[in-house]
Structure 1
Amino acid sequence: MTELIDALSLYMAKHIKSVVPDHPASVPVLKHALAVILNLVFIISLTIIISIFTGNVIEVVTVMAAFAFLRQLTGGIHLKSGMGCVAVSTLLFTGLSFIKLDYNWTIGVTLVSMLLIFVFAPAGIERQTRIPPRYFPLLRSGALIIVSFNLWIANPFIAISFFVQSLSLINIRR
């Protein structure tokens, strides 16, 4: 059975191609781009809807923004299934919004995140970016600088989000 995101993105790609047959992108290229967009829309929508019911909207938005921002610089593991990604990400972001760290834990988790980034970042971005590998050390440096700002801000939700994103960099098979 084709999963929901694949089916929707294929339907939309075929529709776009039928309306604009001269569009330079092929159906598979359009399908992939639309699948990425749908995945993101589903994650954000579901997570925010749940957070409205849990009363953690600000926390969830903080967690999602911090996670996404750091992930752009560091990469990390990817799930094979779009719907799996939606489910895991929604549960993860919702769950992280309930974790309350005191100041010392916030600083400690931020320092561990920095160590993980220093050792493992960037991870798994070789096939997903047009950035040449010679610039990967700059991505690592940028990520370290961004994470280090939380030593000053000391936001527990940013700290836990950065920590989980940093954990996603670890690849035991390397």
Structure 2
Amino acid sequence: MLHRIAVSMRDRMIANGVMAPSVEIILYALNIVGNTVSIFSISALVGLITGELVRTLLLMMVFALIRILSGGYHLKSGMWCIVVSSALMSVLPHLRLTNTWTYVFTGIALLAILIFAPANYDKYARLSERYYPFLKLISAAIVAANLFIVSDVAAIAFITQALLLPFKEGGEEE
């Protein structure tokens, strides 16, 4: 079904005089959008049902931001990405940390960012390596800010992302 949509989109682009990407690239983009919308929808619905919508939305925003900047492990299939990410984004907002654990998790995440970020950018992004130190600096600054903000939700997002940074394997199946 998605393949037909990608072909149709490409045909319409060409008919309108637009330099269209290949069907494979359009299909890849549609899969990313579909995965993102699925994860967001499932997690937000669980958050709404359990009364933790605000914490769920905050966790997803913080996690997405730090993930974009610092990279990390990718699961081998889009379906596993949806299942695992939805489970994490649905369960983690229900955890509560004391300030002590918030500082500990933030500190560990900061150390992991400084050591491993950005991770797997060479495989998944078209960004020159000369920007990697900047990505590391911005990621570290965002995590370090939580030492002053002391948000347990942010600390949970940061430590979750930090655990994904050292892994080099993964990647979506074709």
TM-score under structure 1 normalisation? Answer: 0.90
The aligned amino acid for 1:38 is: G
Matching residue of 1:3 = none
**Please, which of 80, 87, 108 is the counterpart of residue 84 of structure 1?**
80
CA–CA distance in structure 1, aligned partners of residues 105 and 115 of structure 2: 15
| One-letter amino acid of the structure 1 residue matched with residue 161 of structure 2 | Q
Q: Tell me how far apart the structure 1 counterparts of residues 13 and 117 of structure 2 sit (CA, whole Å).
A: 41
Letter in 1 for 2:142: I
Deviation at 1:11, TM superposition (A): 2.8
Q: Residue deviations 1:56-103, cap 9 Å, x none? A: 101111110111000111100001111110110000011111110011
Which residue matches 1:57? 53
Match of 2:32 among 28, 31, 36: 36
User: CA RMSD of the aligned region, Å?
Assistant: 1.5
Change (3 A) 1:86 1:172: closer
Q: Does 1:102 align with 2:95?
A: no
Q: Quick check: 1:67–1:162 contact (8 Å CA) kept in 2?
A: yes
Matching residue of 2:3: 10
SS at the partner of 1:126? Answer: helix
**Number of corresponding residues:** 166
* Percentage identity across paired residues of the two chains: 33
Residue by residue, what CA displacement relative to the aligned partner does 1:122-154 show, whole Å, maximum 9, x if unpaired?
111112222211221111111000001111110
Whether the 8 Å contact between 1:9 and 1:32 is mirrored in structure 2 is no
- Aligned: 1:122 with 2:118: yes
